[in-house]
Amino acid sequence: MRRFSVLALLREGLAGQRGWQPQWRHPEPKPAYDALIIGGGGHGLGTAYYLAREHGLTNIAVLEKGWIGSGNTGRNTTIIRSNYLFPESAALYDHAVKLWESLSQELNYNVMFSQRGVMMLAHTVHDMQVAKRHVHANRAAGVDNEWLTPQQAQAFCPLLNIGDIRYPVLGAALQRRGGTARHDAVAWGYARAADALGVDIIENCEVRGIQRDANGAVTGVETTRGTIRAPRIGVAAAGNTSVVLRMADVELPLESYPLQALVSEPVKPVFPCVVMSNTIHAYISQSDKGELVIGAGTDAYTSYTQRGGPHITSHALEAICELFPMFRRMRMLRCWGGIVDVTPDRSPIIGKTGVPGLYVNCGWGTGGFKATPGSAHVFAWTIARDEPHALNAPFTLERFRDGDLIDEAAAAAVAH
Ligand code: FAD
Ligand code: PYC
């Protein structure tokens, strides 16, 4: 069987892959749809999938200015967890973790979800107090989280240096149900499944304007591939959300920053879990390809450049080498940046915008990959019913007007 597939692969390679079927169609945009989603990342594609699958809206299109997954979905370090402080957040992120657990089956596409455990280190007494507060709050909300001593942390991740280092490890919070998934498989899996339900996925189609009628309601968009009409538009454009929403005169409380990550040369499996250090702004896991996946904090300055300062990654690497001395001689292969959209309380915005027919899903900052299925699921509900799902009702734009902030700066962890 193995021999057969290697031969088949060879044959396809030599024949220009003519026998491979495209996983989704590449249709020309129609003049009009029942709904449009701007942004072909995991959140936008997932939203289209749930709109079609759960709400029967199949005459819809996803408009992506580049290729699908070319934004933060394809740039992130894939850490998935739900150990946020407030019950509203724990409920939203845990909704996502539960959907992750069956996503490969749901989409019939292997998204390689691996619940290998996410361990967040504490290096100071203050870190310990914050981490224990999260452990207690999560357990009260029915979300798994546990406190480990330094020795227990090392037993869970044997490469961890708990000796006398610049950043002593005083303990760790461990969410065993946390882990990783394959980022672009999430975009591809949702795209293929949405396409099969009739959703048009239109790549290389940048939205340049949002059209509105005399009452202010949306009527369509102007794109690099022409005008497309629709009475409902959902925006899932991550770091570009402010730019897109300004096309409809909507100002959002968002700031966009570069966030960087890097990968090493591939090595055999050595690293069994995910480790994050919020104080040091560094985190690490090993991909199934064998690369160490390492992330850093955000730049201190707002920017749309998709690349950050080199001092940020070198700081993260110094810290990683102290925590895991075994990696000192590893060579880094490449690094990159994405633009993350950060709200004042470090929680997302999912809801209506004040412009009839225009909905937004944004503000995930450094941590929206983990939320992809849950966020897409409740955003689809919001667009289909013109009202929030119970899980995203606390995350609408009105909370900034009413002062009902959900301050997750400590749980958002990296960067903020
Ligand atoms: P995106 O994937 O960015 O999709 C938005 C899409 O909108 C883009 O493809 C873009 O091209 C498109 N677009 C923008 N403007 C327009 C327009 N005018 N017309 C048409 N299309 C447009 N989160 C975690 O949970 N765990 C992590 O470990 C993690 N690590 C990260 C590491 C890095 C380096 C970065 C940058 C982010 C990380 N994140 C992480 C955050 C996470 O990647 C994002 O929150 C999440 O992927 C956002 O998904 P999305 O679908 O909303 O956005
Ligand atoms: O939100 O868990 C997270 C995260 C890790 C790295 C970047 N974001």
Calculate mean pLDDT across residues 43-54: 98
Cα 48 from chain centre:
16
Mutate to test the pocket of ligand 1, among 349, 366, 372, 395 (most ligand atoms within 8 A of CB): 366
Which domains, and CATH codes, for the chain?
A: 23-76+184-253+347-402 (3.50.50.60), 114-178+255-342 (3.30.9.10)
Can you list the alpha helix ranges (DSSP code H) found in 164-253? Answer: 183-196, 241-246
Ligand 2 pocket at CB < 6 A: 77, 79, 81, 283, 295, 366-367, 370, 413-414
H/E element, 36? strand 35-38
Q: Among residues of the chain, what percentage have pLDDT more than 70?
A: 98
Amino acid sitting at position 84: Y
Can you list the alpha helix ranges (DSSP code H) found in 249-395? Answer: 310-323, 372-385
Separation of CA 221 and ligand 2 centre (Å)? 33
Residue 1 has pLDDT above 50, yes or no: no
H/E element, 62? strand 60-63
- Distance separating alpha carbons of residues 121 and 169, to the nearest angstrom: 7
Q: Scanning the structure block, which residue is given the tokens 């960087």?
A: 260
- Distance separating alpha carbons of residues 38 and 63, to the nearest angstrom: 5
Nearest CA to ligand 2 atom 3: 367
Mutate to test the pocket of ligand 2, among 72, 73, 75, 77 (most ligand atoms within 8 A of CB): 77
Confidence of residue 4 (pLDDT cuts 50, 70, 90): low
What pLDDT, in 10s, does the model give residues 147-162?
999 999 999 999 999 9
H/E element, 100? helix 87-101
| Sign of the Cα pseudo-torsion (77, 150, 270, 174, in order) | negative
Give yes or no for residue 341 CB within 6 A of ligand 1: no
What number does the ligand 2 atom closest to the CA of 367 have? 1
Give yes or no for residue 339 CB within 6 A of ligand 1: no
Lateral strand order in the sheet of 233-235: 200-202, 60-63, 35-38, 233-235, 358-362, 349-352
Q: How many residues does the chain have?
A: 416
Give yes or no for residue 234 CB within 6 A of ligand 1: no
Neighbours of 2 (CB within 10 A): 6
Mutate to test the pocket of ligand 2, among 366, 375, 408, 416 (most ligand atoms within 8 A of CB): 366
What pLDDT, in 10s, does the model give residues 241-268?
999 999 999 999 999 999 999 999 999 9
Q: Which ligand is nearest to the CA of 37?
A: 1
What pLDDT, in 10s, does the model give residues 215-241?
999 999 999 999 999 999 999 999 999
What pLDDT, in 10s, does the model give residues 282-321?
999 999 999 999 999 999 999 999 889 999 999 999 999 9
Cα 199 to Cα 14, 45, 61, 294, 346: the distances in Å are 33, 9, 6, 35, 32
What number does the ligand 1 atom closest to the CA of 45 have? 51
Give yes or no for residue 187 CB within 6 A of ligand 1: no
Higher pLDDT among residues 377 and 12, named by residue: 377
Neighbours of 324 (CB within 10 A): 19
Confidence of residue 280 (pLDDT cuts 50, 70, 90): confident
Nearest of 366, 392, 369 to residue 379 by alpha carbon: 392
Burial track 256-295 (b if 16+ CB lie within 10 A, e otherwise): bbbbbbbbbeeeeeebebbbbbbbbbbbbbbbeeebbbbb
What pLDDT, in 10s, does the model give residues 311-355?
999 999 999 999 999 999 999 999 999 999 999 999 999 999 999
